[in-house]
Amino acid sequence: MTTAAIAPWILYGAYGFTGRLMAREAVTRGLSPILAGRDEGKVEELAGELGLAARVFGLDDPDELRRGIRGAALVLHAAGPFSRTGQPMAAACLAEGVHYLDITGEIDVLEGIHELDTRARAAGIHMVPAVGFDVVPTDCAAALAAEALSGATALDLAFVSSGGPSRGTARTALERMDQDSAVRRNGKIVSIPLGSVRRTIPFSDRPREGVAIPWGDVSTAWRSTWIPDIRVFAVLPPRVLRIGRVLGLLLELPLLRGLVRAAVDALVSGPDDEELAQGSARIWAEARREGEADDGSTGTARAQVELVTPNGYTLTARASVEAARRILDGQVRTEPGVHTPSRAFGADFVLGLDGVKRVV
């Protein structure tokens, strides 16, 4: 029996849409996380359904939070928006010497957690944020492309996926509707107007138009590859951008902010079982290097990687639970500290997940 099968570990936010998928994935794989969250009724109901232990605690009181995770070997944090929840849980894990994983994709949250590296090393724990669809497939594709082209100076990543968002994802998106996009230039994160940078992405099945978005890889891909210029593109219908701009303006008005959030909660439930089973995503990465070839000619050298994955929520469940298992079983390629998924588990981590294949 592996350590992961017997070590006490916590899945926090287990009764959310994604948390439920993660809990069921863990049980399917013979793991027994302690389900946790602030809502006693929801936690106890799901724990009873899956035959798992439960703990009830919130994130607002640091002492309560520390007591809640005390004695666990690892926390897999699934309760967003992580701009509010990430720092308290990360701090508690550092204080209690508990390994930390989350499924955030928020750049500022990722930057804040990576600043904890020295403290994580001193505590002897692994902290690996963004072990879901944000950013496992794009992070691994970036690392694979960088391995194929030494000395690359620019990296473009892109994705297209099917299926709608969960309520939690929609809430997080609302939090950021009035913010700019972001890219990395010369190693620094810089803001750009949302929708201002576009390119045609040459996916192998057919090209698609992508728009640069503030995806988590703007933070993490630099740490995985040390490529200084990084952009992340999403294939989004034009109407999505138009609606986003309108919602961003509405959210600037305090009286309307609550109404917009309530509407999202009422209208958004997440993909159903059929969409989860049949949905898919394509991930694309291109590393580039300008320079002189062996024959004396000059130009751009390129290395491209393309992956096909399951629906993003399905992949999040599989990737996050596998990341937890590997940490608990000591299958981490780095010393304790804060690391990206590809640094912690290897560039081929995503290729070992069910339903993922490399096409380029």
Q: Is the pLDDT of residue 177 over 80?
A: no
Q: Do residues 140 and 12 share a domain?
A: no
Q: Do residues 146 and 216 share a domain?
A: yes
Q: What is the end-to-end Cα distance of the chain in Å, rounded? A: 37
Percent of the chain residues topping a pLDDT of 70: 84
* φ, ψ (nearest 5 deg) of residue 239: -65, -30
Give the CATH number of the domain where residue 267 resides.
Answer: 3.30.360.10
What is the spatial distance between Cα 341 and Cα 126, in angstroms, rounded to a whole number?
A: 11
What tokens does 26 get? 């863990």
Confidence of residue 315 (pLDDT cuts 50, 70, 90): very high
- Check residues 255 and 85 and name the one with the higher pLDDT: 85
> Average pLDDT, stretch 334-351?
98
| Buried-state track 170-182, b at ≥16 Cβ within 10 A, e below 16 | bbbebbbbeeebb
Enclosing domain of residue 107: 3-133+313-358
Q: Do residues 19 and 45 share a domain?
A: yes
Confidence of residue 250 (pLDDT cuts 50, 70, 90): very low
Q: Do residues 334 and 286 share a domain?
A: no
Amino acid code (one letter) for 196: S
Q: Do residues 298 and 157 share a domain?
A: yes
Q: Which CA distances in Å does 300 have to 47, 64, 342? A: 54, 55, 26
What is the spatial distance between Cα 135 and Cα 139, in angstroms, rounded to a whole number?
A: 6
Count, residues in the chain: 360
Q: Is the pLDDT of residue 223 over 90?
A: yes
Q: Is the pLDDT of residue 348 over 80?
A: yes
Q: Do residues 163 and 296 share a domain?
A: yes
Q: Do residues 92 and 20 share a domain?
A: yes
The pLDDT of residue 4 is 73
Q: Do residues 236 and 157 share a domain?
A: yes
Pure H helices in 152-237:
167-175, 217-225
Give the CATH number of the domain where residue 32 resides.
Answer: 3.40.50.720
Confidence of residue 243 (pLDDT cuts 50, 70, 90): very low
The pLDDT of residue 292 is 63
Q: Is the pLDDT of residue 3 over 90?
A: no
- pLDDT per residue as tens digits for the range 118-161: 999 999 999 999 999 999 999 999 999 999 999 999 999 999 98
pTM of the model: 0.89
Q: Is the pLDDT of residue 247 over 50?
A: no
Three-state helix/strand/coil letters over 122-134: HHCCEEECCCECC
What is the spatial distance between Cα 211 and Cα 244, in angstroms, rounded to a whole number?
A: 13
Q: Is the pLDDT of residue 294 over 50?
A: yes
317 contact partners, CB below 8 Å, separation of at least 6: 18, 21, 22, 24, 25
Tell which residue, 216, 192, 228, has the closest CA to residue 112: 216
* Across 146-155, 257-266, 277-286, least confident range: 257-266
Mean pLDDT of the chain: 89
Q: Do residues 153 and 193 share a domain?
A: yes
**Count of domains for the chain:** 2
Q: Do residues 247 and 298 share a domain?
A: yes
